[in-house]
A and B are shown apart, each in its own frame.
Chain A
Amino acid sequence: MACYLTTGKHFGFYWSFVTVLVLLAVTAPTALLFGFGGASAARSQFLPIRWFGTIYISIVRGVPDIAFFLFFVIALDQGFEFLRHQYLCPDWTDRIWQGNDFVVCSAAKLPLGNAPQWVHEVYGFFLAVLTFAIVFGAFAANVLHGAMQAVPRGQIETAEAYGMTRRQAFWHVLVPQMWIYALPGLSNLWMLLIKATPLLFLLGVEDIVYWARELGGTKQARFSDYPHGDWRLWYFLALLVFYLAFTRLSEVVLSRITRRLSHGQATIGATA
Chain B
Amino acid sequence: MSCWQTVQDYGLRAIGIGERLLPREGFDLCQQFTLIGSGLIWNVYFGLLALLAGFFIANAVALCKASSNPWIRKPAEWFVLVFRGSPLFIQFFLAYFIFLRIKQAGYMPWLTSAQAGALVVLVLNTAAYSGEIFFGALRTVPRGEVEAADAYGFTGWKRFVSIVWPTTMRLAWPAYTNEAIFLFHATTLVFFSGFPTWRQQGDALYYANYFADKTFNPFIPYPIVAFYFILLTLALIGTFGLVNRRLNRHLPQERRTRLKFRPNIIR
Binding site for B on A (CB under 8 A): 57-59, 61-68, 70-71, 74-75, 78, 97, 100-102, 139, 142-143, 185, 188-189, 192, 194-199, 201-202, 209, 212-213, 230, 232-233, 236-237, 239-240, 243-244, 247-248
Contact (Cβ within 8 A) B93 A192: no
Contact pattern, B 131-152, Cβ under 8 Å of A = 1, otherwise 0: 0000000000000000000000
Contact (Cβ within 8 A) A209 B217: no
Contact (Cβ within 8 A) A75 B94: no
Known A-B contacts A59-B226, A244-B85; A67 and B265 likewise in contact (beta carbons under 8 Å): no
B212 at the interface (CB under 8 A from A): yes
List 11 A-B pairs, Cβ < 8 Å.
A62-B226, A62-B230, A63-B185, A64-B225, A66-B192, A142-B262, A185-B264, A197-B87, A201-B89, A240-B94, A248-B85
Collect the chain A residues with CB atoms within 8 Å of residue B189's CB. Answer: 66
Other than the given A188-B267, A233-B94, 12 more pairs (CB < 8 A) read A62-B230, A64-B225, A66-B185, A67-B208, A70-B209, A71-B212, A75-B218, A97-B217, A100-B216, A202-B192, A233-B101, A239-B94
State A243–B89 Cα separation when bound (angstroms).
11
State A237–B101 Cα separation when bound (angstroms).
14
Contact (Cβ within 8 A) B86 A244: yes
State A62–B231 Cα separation when bound (angstroms).
9
Contact (Cβ within 8 A) A67 B188: yes
Collect the chain A residues with CB atoms within 8 Å of residue B27's CB. Answer: 100
Collect the chain B residues with CB atoms within 8 Å of residue A75's CB. Answer: 218-219
Contact (Cβ within 8 A) A232 B97: yes
Q: By CB atoms of chain B within 10 A, which of A64, A71, A198, A236 has the most?
A: A64
State A247–B97 Cα separation when bound (angstroms).
23
Interface range on chain B (Cβ under 8 Å from partner):
35 or more
Closest CB in chain B relative to A237 CB, distance in Å? 6
B185 CB contact (under 8 Å) in A57, A64, A74, A201? A64
B166 at the interface (CB under 8 A from A): no
Q: By CB atoms of chain A within 10 A, which of B90, B100, B208 has the most?
A: B90
Collect the chain B residues with CB atoms within 8 Å of residue A202's CB. Answer: 192
State A259–B33 Cα separation when bound (angstroms).
50
Contact (Cβ within 8 A) B216 A67: no
Binding site for A on B (CB under 8 A): 27, 81-82, 85-91, 93-94, 97-98, 100-101, 184-186, 188-189, 192, 205, 208-209, 212, 214-219, 222, 225-226, 229-230, 233-234, 261-267
Collect the chain A residues with CB atoms within 8 Å of residue B101's CB. Answer: 233
Contact (Cβ within 8 A) B97 A236: yes
State A65–B222 Cα separation when bound (angstroms).
11
Contact (Cβ within 8 A) B218 A236: no
Name A's interface SS. Answer: helix
Contact (Cβ within 8 A) B264 A195: no
Collect the chain B residues with CB atoms within 8 Å of residue A188's CB. Answer: 265-267
Collect the chain A residues with CB atoms within 8 Å of residue B266's CB. Answer: 185, 188
In the complex, residue of chain B having the shortest beta-carbon distance to the beta carbon of A76: B218
Collect the chain B residues with CB atoms within 8 Å of residue A189's CB. Answer: 265
Contact (Cβ within 8 A) A233 B88: no
Contact (Cβ within 8 A) A63 B226: yes
Contact (Cβ within 8 A) A64 B85: no
Known A-B contacts A59-B226, A63-B229; A74 and B188 likewise in contact (beta carbons under 8 Å): no
Known A-B contacts A71-B222, A142-B262; A100 and B215 likewise in contact (beta carbons under 8 Å): yes
Closest CB in chain B relative to A133 CB, distance in Å? 16
B265 CB contact (under 8 Å) in A66, A143, A248? A143
Collect the chain B residues with CB atoms within 8 Å of residue A230's CB. Answer: 97, 100
In the complex, residue of chain A having the shortest beta-carbon distance to the beta carbon of B209: A70
In the complex, residue of chain B having the shortest beta-carbon distance to the beta carbon of A201: B89
B90 CB contact (under 8 Å) in A71, A78, A236? A236
Contact (Cβ within 8 A) B219 A64: no
Collect the chain B residues with CB atoms within 8 Å of residue A209's CB. Answer: 89-90, 93
Q: By CB atoms of chain B within 10 A, which of A188, A195, A196 has the most?
A: A195
